Amino acid sequence: MPYRTFIDSAGAEWQVWDIVPRNHERRSAEQLDRRVEVIPIGFADRRRPDNRRAVSGGARRAYLRGSFAHGWLCFESRQEKRRLSPIPADWTTCGDDDLEAYGNLGERVPGPTRSFNFADEEPLDKTA
């Protein structure tokens, strides 16, 4: 997972990384809809009960569609978080101005949900 930081033209520090879903999360609508048609069985169904297990907590896994199925860039600052999809091919090597432009194209999302150590924060006291 490549990772970059940059300072935008307003002086805000941004952290940028890519999210690339695993193959099983990239299912298309056609693959999900292939089992919709129910074919009646003309004999007594003696198959065992369904023993598939749900994801922990009983939640169903969400499948990604559209451009997000191939991944996205996360842009996060202290004030906001954005996602950009599809991932630009040159994002790991482009200049900070281009990376800022990519961030400006990204969709705003709720966040940030976690705290990063930014340079202007006091270092953690490891002696305590």
Chain segment 29-79, per-residue pLDDT in tens: 445 555 556 666 566 656 666 655 555 555 555 555 666 778 999 999 999
Which helix (H) or strand (E) element contains residue 97?
helix 96-105
Does pTM top 0.85 for this prediction? no
Do 86 and 68 touch, CB atoms closer than 8 A?
no
For range 117-126, the mean pLDDT: 55
Q: For residue 25, what pLDDT is reported?
A: 47
- Chain centroid to CA 38: 33
Contact residues for 118 (Cβ-Cβ < 8 A; gap 6+): 13, 78
Taking the C-alpha atoms of residue 126 and residue 128, their distance in angstroms, rounded to an integer, is: 6
Q: What's the pLDDT tens digit per position in 83-120?
A: 999 999 999 999 999 999 999 999 999 865 555 555 55
For range 16-38, the mean pLDDT: 64
